Structures are given as C-alpha cells and as structure tokens.
Amino acid sequence: MKNLLAIALGVVFTTSVVCAAEQQISVPQDIQPMLRFGVFDTSNTVAQEVEKYSLGNPSHKLCWVAFNMPFQPLNQVKEIFNAPQKTTFIDGPSKITTSEDGKTHTLEVSLPSNNGEFIERCWSFGENDPIGKYSVDVQVNDVTYPTQYFEVVK
C-alpha cells in the first residue's frame, strides 16, 4: 500500500530559492485564494480531468494547485488525507503523522512556489491502496481550503 508523490503537469520545484526569507510576492487584496483540485489523465500532452482515479490507469494523477495568494520563498503546506481503509502514505520530503487506525494521514512540508504564482502537488496511488471515497484538506501558509473529495476505483 503505497502512495507515491508524482511529479506531473510540469516541473514544480525548480532550482534554488534565491529570494530573501522576508520577501513576499503580493496579490491584490480583492482576489480570493483559489484551489484547483481533481483527478487528471496525463497520458496526452494536455492533461484531461476525469471523474475517478482508476488504479488500472497508471496515467491518472490526483493533483491540486493553489493560486491567487501571496507566496513566500518557502511555503508551509499541510495535507490531511482521510482514506476509506487503513493505508500508508509515502512522501520523502514530508513529515507524516498517521492516526492509530491508519486511515488519517497528515503530511507537512515546506515548498517553493512556481515563480510566485502557484504551488502544485500530485499523487499516484498503487494497486494495494484501498478503493473507495477519500477526502483531503489542504492548507498553504495561513489559507485553509474547503475539504476536497475523490474516489479511487479499480
């Protein structure tokens, strides 16, 4: 049961951050932070959104993109995944905390933005991961987005 962080839809983490730690890119006050979330088929040049994550399709990726918000050189990202059954999450750079029942996984990591415009994360699921309905809560710095839902099928 492994969930592997997938690098999809472009290179997100490029070179090193050269900005001063205090520097922050500003966004106009009237713009609301946004989160684009979905399951994408990445088998073509342009990724297509699909309804469900199919374990039988290795081109499927679960991705989210946070944008329309001020980013820092390094941003604190927290993802809380709730799985339908006990599973394991693996992500090298993240600090991972798992509930006693093995269904809730909190991942915390510091990530740079892409040119101060967005942060993107994509996940892949494996054949041993439980099928069913999942939820994920995403927080970037002090912005908490509404709970997102997705389904993993065979």
Domains of the chain: residue spans and CATH: 34-152 (2.60.40.1930)
pLDDT tens for 123-132 read: 999 999 999 9
Sequence-distant (≥ 6) Cβ neighbours of residue 36 within 8 angstroms: 64, 65, 67
Do 73 and 19 touch, CB atoms closer than 8 A? Answer: yes
Q: Spell out a b/e string for 76-95, using b for 16 or more CB atoms within 10 Å of the CB, else e.
A: ebbbbbebeeebebebeebe
**Rounded distance between C-alpha atoms, residue 45 and residue 140, angstroms:** 28
- Which residue stretches of 44-124 are H helix? none
Q: CA 16, CA 19: separation in Å to the nearest integer?
A: 9
Dihedral (CA of 135, 124, 55, 84) sign: negative
> What is the per-residue pLDDT across 18-48, written as a single tens digit (0 to 9) for each?
333 334 445 556 789 999 999 999 999 999 9
pLDDT, tens digit, for every residue of 55-109?
999 999 999 999 999 999 999 999 999 999 999 999 999 999 999 999 999 999 9
DSSP assignment of 108-130 equals: EEEE--BTTTEEEEEEEE-TTSP
pLDDT of 147 strictly over 50: yes
Query: pTM for the whole thing?
Result: 0.80
Q: How many residues does this entry show for the chain?
A: 154
